[in-house]
């Protein structure tokens, strides 16, 4: 161990577990890539004001969790705590919404930073894959995103996840509900901070995890009773499309994603094997966000799935991903001359697209064969002085244990044939 350790609340991804992370990112993004979503990458930090406005002044993310810094030039920046605000900012900046091709469908994958109390499934650096569909109001688009996330989780072999669904109303009906809720909440016995929250973002009080608060919330006005006809119809259509696609969901009227610009469809993916950090992903419609950050009216919908918690969910369910071995051929030279010759064969194999590795460092047969085994290679090539004198290499099938001498000049072609 060195003098240094990974900072508190972070961890390193190292082989072999890191391969699972790559596979999860790949599996989550595959359905998006097959559905018209283009890849977008934005900086790891943004102007702090973008998140203050685009995530919300009253959210935990902005009030408590952001890593902010002042540059030597005096700019106020923040490490990105989430993806949506940055992606929308970038789409507007590149005028993607003006290309006459709405919705603009984008996916991303990267690192996010939140100053949180570290615990299982909650880190200060974590990884998300996300999707945003910008500029179109269409219940089929909301349904598409939920269906694609469901498809992604299923393709990984996850089964114990549930989809929670709700509608938060729109700018017509939400304010009426907000006021009714505020009136109800003001009469409760709540602490200072929560009382402040009633005035800034009352819906988030519904999300309070404390039992004594939840007890007082029975009898709170329900958003469902306040939805306008347009919102009701929209929500029914999303539900019908999900049902038609065979995607099971649960109506959860307590599900609020407490940002002021969130509208209509909201959803969360929860996994039952994760304890208290059960949300593996979440998303929803954010029709007001573009205007909040100075853009035109662009009704949009998106989600972000947490890669770390998805891996934990796989582990909780005991799902082993079927990860193909990264190395197909492992070469073991015995002696100086063999080293030169087999290194040449390995180079040739790699150039023809066959994944190959080599026993570096002049190791003995036993140690080198151990490495060959560990590499997962289907074949090893072994050659010593006597083999070279005969112009052959020993090709060993690691599955059957069968070993055959193959003319050196034909080794690469023979391996290509056997590996299909
Ligand atoms: P939570 O309620 O657990 O704090 P959140 O609502 O803050 O989650 P989102 O902002 O919706 O989370 O982010 C989407 C996903 O990103 C989450 O469902 C989760 O899988 C993951 N995520 C969020 N914060 C963290 C974190 N600190 N560590 C690991 N994963 C995280
Ligand atoms: Mg959080």
**Strand order from edge to edge, sheet including 76-79:** 45-47, 76-79, 68-70
Q: Where in the chain is CATH 3.30.930.10?
A: 17-173+227-317
The predicted-structure confidence for 236-289, as pLDDT tens digits, reads as follows 999 999 999 999 999 998 888 766 678 999 999 999 999 988 999 999 999 999
Instruction: Please identify, by atom number, the ligand 1 atom nearest to the C-alpha of residue 124.
Output: 27
What is the fold, at CATH topology level, of the domain defined by 329-419?
Answer: Rossmann fold (3.40.50)
Correct CATH for 17-173+227-317 of 2.40.50.140, 3.30.930.10, 3.90.1010.10, 3.60.15.10: 3.30.930.10
* Rounded Cα–Cα distance for residues 265 and 148 (Å): 15
Mutate to test the pocket of ligand 1, among 282, 284, 285 (most ligand atoms within 8 A of CB): 282
Per-residue pLDDT of the chain (420 residues; tens, 9 = 90+): 789 999 999 999 999 999 999 999 999 999 999 999 999 999 999 999 999 999 888 788 998 999 999 999 999 999 999 999 999 999 999 999 999 899 999 999 999 999 999 999 999 999 999 999 999 999 999 999 999 999 999 999 999 999 999 999 998 999 999 999 999 999 999 999 999 989 988 888 988 889 999 999 999 999 999 999 999 999 999 999 999 999 999 999 888 876 667 899 999 999 999 998 899 999 999 999 999 999 999 999 999 999 999 999 999 999 999 998 889 999 999 999 999 999 999 999 999 999 999 999 988 999 999 999 999 999 999 999 999 999 999 999 999 999 999 999 999 999 999 998
The predicted-structure confidence for 76-117, as pLDDT tens digits, reads as follows 999 999 999 999 999 999 999 999 899 999 999 999 999 999
Mutate to test the pocket of ligand 1, among 152, 302, 304 (most ligand atoms within 8 A of CB): 304
Q: Where in the chain is CATH 3.40.50.800?
A: 329-419
Distance 54 CA to ligand 1 centre (A): 17
Q: 65 in ligand 1 pocket by Cβ < 6 Å?
A: no
**Ligand number nearest to the C-alpha of 126:** 1
Distance 81 CA to ligand 2 centre (A): 10
């Amino acid at each position: 161990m060195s003098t240094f350790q990974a900072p508190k609340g972070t961890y390193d991804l190292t082989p072999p577990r890191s391969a699972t992370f790559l596979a999860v990112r790949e599996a989550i993004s595959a359905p998006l890539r097959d559905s018209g979503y283009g890849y977008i990458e934005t900086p790891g930090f943004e102007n702090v004001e973008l998140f203050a406005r685009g995530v919300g002044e009253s959210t935990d993310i902005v009030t408590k969790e952001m890593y902010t810094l002042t540059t030597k030039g005096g700019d106020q920046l923040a490490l990105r705590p989430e993806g949506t605000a940055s992606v929308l900012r970038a789409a507007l900046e590149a005028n993607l919404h003006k290309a006459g091709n709405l919705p603009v469908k984008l996916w991303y994958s990267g690192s996010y930073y939140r100053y949180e109390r570290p615990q299982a499934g909650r880190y200060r650096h974590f990884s998300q894959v996300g999707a945003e569909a910008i500029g179109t109001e269409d219940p089929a688009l909301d349904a598409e995103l939920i269906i694609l996330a469901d498809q992604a989780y299923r393709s990984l072999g996850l089964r114990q996840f549930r989809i929670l669904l709700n509608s938060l109303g729109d700018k017509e009906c939400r304010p009426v509900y907000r006021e009714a809720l505020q009136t109800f909440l003001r009469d409760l016995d709540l602490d200072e901070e929560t009382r402040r929250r009633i005035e800034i973002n009352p819906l988030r009080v519904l999300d309070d995890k404390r039992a004594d608060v939840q007890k007082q919330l029975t009898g709170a006005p329900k958003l469902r009773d306040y939805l306008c006809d347009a919102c009701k119809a929209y929500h029914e259509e999303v539900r019908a499309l999900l049902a038609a696609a065979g995607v099971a969901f649960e109506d959860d009227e307590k599900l609020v994603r407490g940002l002021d610009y969130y509208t209509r469809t909201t959803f969360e993916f929860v996994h039952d094997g994760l304890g208290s950090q059960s949300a593996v992903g979440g998303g929803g419609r954010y029709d007001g966000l573009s205007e909040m950050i100075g853009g035109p009216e662009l009704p949009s919908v998106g989600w972000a799935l947490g890669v770390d918690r998805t891996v934990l969910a796989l582990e909780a369910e005991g799902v082993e991903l079927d990860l193909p071995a990264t190395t197909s051929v492992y070469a073991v030279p015995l002696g100086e001359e063999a080293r030169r010759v087999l290194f040449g064969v390995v180079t040739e194999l790699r150039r023809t697209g066959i994944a190959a590795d080599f026993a570096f460092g002049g190791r003995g047969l036993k140690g080198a064969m151990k490495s060959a085994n560990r590499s997962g290679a289907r074949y090893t090539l072994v050659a010593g002085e006597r083999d070279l004198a005969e112009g052959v290499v020993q090709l060993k099938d690691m599955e059957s244990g069968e070993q055959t001498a193959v003319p050196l000049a034909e080794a690469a072609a023979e391996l290509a044939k056997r590996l299909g």
